[in-house]
Amino acid sequence: MRRTAIAWPCSASTSRDHQLEDARALVKKSGVTYPLVQDEAGDINGQGAFPLMRGLPYLAFVAEDGTVTHVEAVVIETSDELVEMVDEHLGVQL
């Protein structure tokens, strides 16, 4: 089964722009090619599998069928960390 990773920070803080810049830099550095989405308006914050989160970097992996396979408040420091998480939570080797 092909899986898709979707990640977004859920944050109401003024550091949201900085978080987005950091996320974009990591994506560029790591060369990931799966879709990434940010929930800037907070439309899914607190909905379904997503707990109400404020001010934290927050990552979610969602399978192609829409199943949430993993959620975590985490700061990804290296591309290797992200690659490991994609493999572990989506079964996709990058």
d(CA 51, CA 72): 10
Instruction: Encode pLDDT of 54-87 as tens digits.
Output: 666 778 888 888 888 998 888 888 889 989 999 9
* Total-model pTM: 0.53
25-55 per-position pLDDT tens digit: 888 888 877 777 777 777 777 777 767 766 6
Look up residue 43 and give its two tokens.
């439309």
Out of 3.40.30, 1.10.150, 1.10.510, 1.20.120, select the CATH number for domain 4-90: 3.40.30
